[in-house]
Copies of this chain bind each other. A is one copy, B any other.
Amino acid sequence: MTNITDIAKKAGVSRTTVSRVLNNHPYVKPEKRDVVLQTIEDLNYVPNLNAINLSRGRTNIIGVIIPRINHPYFSSLIEGIGEQCHKYDYSLLVYQSHNNLSRELLFFDMLKNKQIDGIIIGSCTLQATALNEMSHFGNIVSCEYSDTSSIAQVFVKHEEGIHMAVDHLRDRGHQKIGLCIGNSRSGVGMSRKKAFFDLQNKHRFIWRDDWYYKDQYTIEDGFQIARNMLGQQERPTALVVGSDQVAAGILYELREQGVSVPGEFAIVGFDNQPISKIAELTTIYQPVQKVGNIAVDLLQKLALQKDVPHVTQLDLQLIKRNTT
């Protein structure tokens, strides 16, 4: 393996000069620069990033933690993060935690280990205190609401999304509205739940505890929810569902069972995923990619020691289709 010393020898200069050429430093005589570049070419020299990383004390790698990648919300988020990483010349390390606590901790070790320069939390179940402690080891940005003082956050206005959905259903006359969310312990889940029940109290809707579904992620979960609902003594007339995929499953199974939507039952999804177009699902659009973009921007600013807003929130949009 040819290294910087080989180049220096062959080119008849010092390693320092080679390093300068490599890093586009000024103060290198053009002729020498050319010789060095030529030698690099001749010897097929490739710098060793590990050495550079060790020497510089950073890696230009950003880590992102999510429960799992194969979910439209997280795919979009990662896509947004990935694009912005490319812009700043960061590499992107993706870590799937399955919301498993010990896995999450393992991931944060990479920050301590200096293997990654910063962390973007797509979703994570660690407590605020733990996160605050982690933030001593490097820059962290969260893409979900997080009850911490030390971590910059960017997310969509989840409360507003719930408001939009509930208000829309209320406008259409619904008074018995159920809620279905994904991970109930995540920042997103908690905000949504809180916003929903605040509205419940405010409007004094009718309510039954079995109208609340949590930890639902897939189409099949949706099938199950529909069947479950049909078995209930008293049923809601509408459902706010935190994921288009689950909403589509519910919709499908309800119609399968002869329930007319939106005639007898209304559904609002979240995300405006491709499936919502096919299912003609009323949904709340969330600029997820944009969240990813901004997360990287924040991390970059933090890396440059600049100040960043503690919380950045993005607007949502109701897309009315055929299920309300």
Q: Which residues from chain A sit less than 8 Å from chain B, CB to CB?
A: 46-51, 53-54, 57, 59, 61, 68-72, 75-76, 78-79, 82-83, 86, 91-96, 103, 109-110, 112-115, 137, 218-219, 245, 248-249, 252, 274-275, 277-279
B49 touches A115 (CB 8 A): yes
Contact of A82 among B86, B94, B218, B245 (CB under 8 A): B94
A93 touches B96 (CB 8 A): no
- Kindly name the residue among A50, A78, A112, A219 whose own CB sees the greatest number of chain B CB atoms within 10 A: A50
A50 touches B82 (CB 8 A): no
State in angstroms the CA–CA spacing of A83 and B95 once bound together: 9
A96 touches B83 (CB 8 A): yes
Interface of A: prevailing SS: helix
A93 touches B278 (CB 8 A): no
A96 touches B115 (CB 8 A): no
Kindly list chain B residues whose C-beta atoms are within 8 Å of the C-beta of A248: 274, 278
A112 touches B46 (CB 8 A): yes
Contact of A75 among B48, B61, B75, B114 (CB under 8 A): B75
Residue of B nearest to A59 (CB): B50
Q: How far is the CB of A158 from chain B (nearest CB, A)?
A: 21
| Sampled A-B contacts (23; CB under 8 Å) | A46-B109, A46-B112, A46-B113, A47-B113, A48-B114, A50-B50, A53-B53, A53-B54, A61-B93, A69-B69, A69-B79, A70-B79, A71-B75, A82-B94, A82-B95, A82-B96, A86-B103, A91-B110, A218-B274, A219-B278, A245-B274, A249-B278, A278-B278
Contact of A278 among B46, B96, B279 (CB under 8 A): B279
Kindly list chain B residues whose C-beta atoms are within 8 Å of the C-beta of A47: 113
Whether A115 contacts B50 in the complex (CB less than 8 A), given A82-B94, A278-B275, comes out as yes
State in angstroms the CA–CA spacing of A223 and B68 once bound together: 30
Kindly list chain B residues whose C-beta atoms are within 8 Å of the C-beta of A79: 68-70, 96
Question: Which 4 residue pairs across A and B have the least CB separation, nearest first?
Answer: A70-B79, A49-B113, A50-B54, A49-B115
Give me 9 other A-B pairs in contact (C-beta within 8 A), A46-B113, A83-B96, A91-B95 excluded.
A48-B54, A50-B50, A50-B115, A61-B93, A70-B75, A70-B76, A93-B94, A252-B278, A278-B279
Q: How far is the CB of A138 from chain B (nearest CB, A)?
A: 11
Contact of A49 among B78, B114, B218, B275 (CB under 8 A): B114
